[in-house]
Amino acid sequence: MTMGTEIYQQLIATTTGVLLLTAILQVWGRSLVRSIALLAVQGAALAGLVATVGIGAGEPEAVAVAVEVLLVKSVLLPGALLRSARMIGETRERPAAINTAVELIGAAGLTLIAYIVGTPLVGPHPDPARQALPVGFSLVLLGFWLLLIRRSAITQLIGFVVVDNGIATVSFLISGGLPLTVELGASLDVLLVVLILGVLVVRMQRSQGHIDITELKELHD
């Protein structure tokens, strides 16, 4: 390991803690702008985790992969979502079908499930990166929770990116870092999907006058 064990543990704890905290705050908040800002912070934390795990494993491409993750996850994706939100004039999430307390209880329950399921998979492994695997599982579940409880198409996209961040977190924690070409291809795929869906959201606003996915009754006919 090319960094001190204590520093390595602290960086793993800090970056994974920020990842989990931002996901929970996205469930709690109603501001689309704040949710997008939290997504940018989440992307930066993921980049920090990639650098920490990669350098700790002695991977020479760790810094390059971390920079790529930072650019895509913390700059390009949030930027595309913010641009779409501004173009349609949406700044806040529409009232949800359930109240905030239930949303937070659901988020806490899903996080608990992630730790219950993930902890046995880690076992007695001494590597702090492997011990943090439940955080990645939590992000995946919280992302799906956002997809379930939110009505705005923009927030649906945010939930989709959170799920992808969770999958990336699990991948990096298990493998000790992915090759630059693999991560670049995966991230660009997600970026392309978000850009396309962002354009569709803008067109949806212009044609329907809203971006509430629950009101698209005519799509069922």
pLDDT in tens, 96-121: 667 888 989 999 999 999 999 988 87
> Per mean pLDDT, which of 2-6, 81-85, 135-139, 190-194 is the most reliable?
135-139
- Of residues 37 and 153, the one with the higher pLDDT is 37
Instruction: Check pLDDT > 70 for residue 192.
Output: no
If one compares 215 and 56, the residue with the highest pLDDT of the two is 56
Is the pLDDT score of 172 beyond 80? yes
Q: For the ranges 138-147, 148-157, 191-200, which has the lowest average pLDDT? A: 191-200
> Over pLDDT 70: what percentage of the chain?
74
- pLDDT value of position 1: 46
Q: Which position has the higher pLDDT, 63 or 183?
A: 63
Mean confidence (pLDDT) of the chain: 79
Q: Could you tell me which of 120, 124, 3, 130 has the C-alpha nearest to residue 55?
A: 3
Burial-class residue 178 by CB neighbours within 10 Å (0-12, 13-18, 19+).
Answer: buried
Average pLDDT over residues 196-217: 54
pTM: 0.81
In degrees to the nearest 10, what's the CA dihedral of 142, 129, 76, 89?
A: 20
Q: What is the pLDDT of residue 122?
A: 77
Taking only the tens place, the pLDDT of each residue in 64-76 is 888 888 988 899 8
* Cβ proximity of 43 and 158 under 8 Å: no
Contact 85, 35 (CB under 8 A): no
Task: Please tell me whether residue 205 adopts helix, strand or coil conformation.
Answer: helix
| pLDDT cut 90: percent of the chain above it | 29
| 101 Cβ contact partners less than 8 Å away, ≥ 6 residues apart | none
Domain layout of the chain by residue ranges: 5-220
Round to whole Å and give the CA distance between 147 and 141. Answer: 10
pLDDT of residue 76: 85
- pLDDT band for position 57 (cuts 50, 70, 90): confident
